[in-house]
Amino acid sequence: MSVTATGVIKTFGDYTALSNVSLEAREGEFLALLGPSGSGKTTLLRILAGLEFPDAGQILIGGEDMAGRPARDRRVGFVFQQYALFRHMTVADNIGFGLTVRPRGSRPATREIARRVAELLELVQLPDLGRRYPAQLSGGQRQRVALARALAVEPRILLLDEPFGALDAKVRKDLRRWLREVHDRTGLTSIFVTHDQDEALDLADRVVVMDHGCIEQIDTPEALWDRPASAFVCDFLGGANRVAAIASDGIIDVGGIRLPNHAPALQDGPVTGFIRPHEFSLAAPGSPGIPVTIRRCLRTGAQAALETETHDGAIIEVTLSEPPAGLVPGLTQVLVPTAIRAYPV
């Protein structure tokens, strides 16, 4: 089922959490809301779920206007950051809760609920844990129970708030793949909130990058990576080195090297360029490019990671896939950028 938000505004007192946000998640899509804390991503998710109500704007789920519809009538599956499991209930009771509280007319029979629960336990790969209590589960297991509980009510869409936020790195990676599989199997339109760009790029069909209550860019992971729409997006995706450059006629000049711009067109004059670590090659001192001194060199297998320093003290990180021999700290070299994304200063 598709989800559409149009012109959503939400303020808390003087604080603007969302200023005029619009987006669409298509049928069956897996969408990531990515941004730093305070960017409004969680507020947007909660508005979609009906846990908050927007000051202005419209929410459509499956084409239906959600205005004034409380959370319990939206049939939205919501997985909370800390899972919010009912700790006095067994895992099975947790999962069956949404079915148990249905009005008498539409409530499945007890046996039917038990069957659904068993099915969902199977789906989240915890078939034998139905009688345990949440306190007896590991973090990853609780996460799966929370998901099963959300799925039990046969939601029209699935919303997940920082689904991996409370887990350690190893479990996080495993669950990521698994969640994607579950999504592909159920075909539910899913939206999840994260502040981890790897997670968003790795998992989502499309990523919505947010900052200060505004959407900076909505794109596929590839497009986002290749053509960040703003300096914020480029910076937030991480790893890029910031350099000063000059733009003229759409060509960017860095230390005498002239490159086409990989970002939206911009006016002539000084600009901020972003160059990723692998987008450099080395040249001998005196060549055009950015003269630097090598501070540190770390070789891992065939690769080398260099930490270099420019004349004015800025640090530039470089990754070389075929490093020459003799890269030692103190050596002076010139960095030749091979690609650049430039934005207004």
By CB under 8 A, tell whether 17 contacts other proteins: no
C-alpha to C-alpha distance for 242 and 227, rounded to whole angstroms: 16
Residue closer to other proteins (CB basis): 31 or 152? 152
Residue closer to other proteins (CB basis): 134 or 228? 134
Residue closer to other proteins (CB basis): 94 or 217? 94
Give me the helix-helix angle, 139-152 and 110-123, nearest 10°. 130
Write down the least CB distance from residue 105 to other proteins, Å: 13
**Structure-token pair, residue 9:** 């505004």
Stretch that binds other proteins, among 84-92, 226-234, 254-262, 326-334 (CB under 8 A): 84-92
The four Cα atoms 317, 37, 263, 226 give a dihedral, to 10 degrees, of 70
By CB under 8 A, tell whether 76 contacts other proteins: yes
Residue closer to other proteins (CB basis): 86 or 131? 86
Write down the least CB distance from residue 74 to other proteins, Å: 8
> How many residues line the site for other proteins (CB under 8 A)?
34
By CB under 8 A, tell whether 77 contacts other proteins: yes
The DSSP bridge partners found for residue 303 are 300
By CB under 8 A, tell whether 72 contacts other proteins: yes
Stretch that binds other proteins, among 64-72, 170-178, 182-190, 225-233 (CB under 8 A): 64-72
Cα 150 to chain center, whole Å? 21
C-alpha to C-alpha distance for 312 and 204, rounded to whole angstroms: 40
Which residues inside 107-166 make contact with other proteins, applying CB under 8 A?
A: 134-135, 149-150, 152-153
Write down the least CB distance from residue 25 to other proteins, Å: 17
Residues 6+ apart with CB under 8 A from 210: 21, 33, 34, 35, 39, 40, 41, 44, 216
Residue closer to other proteins (CB basis): 84 or 283? 84
- Judge contact between 86 and 149, C-beta under 8 A: no
C-alpha to C-alpha distance for 269 and 248, rounded to whole angstroms: 7
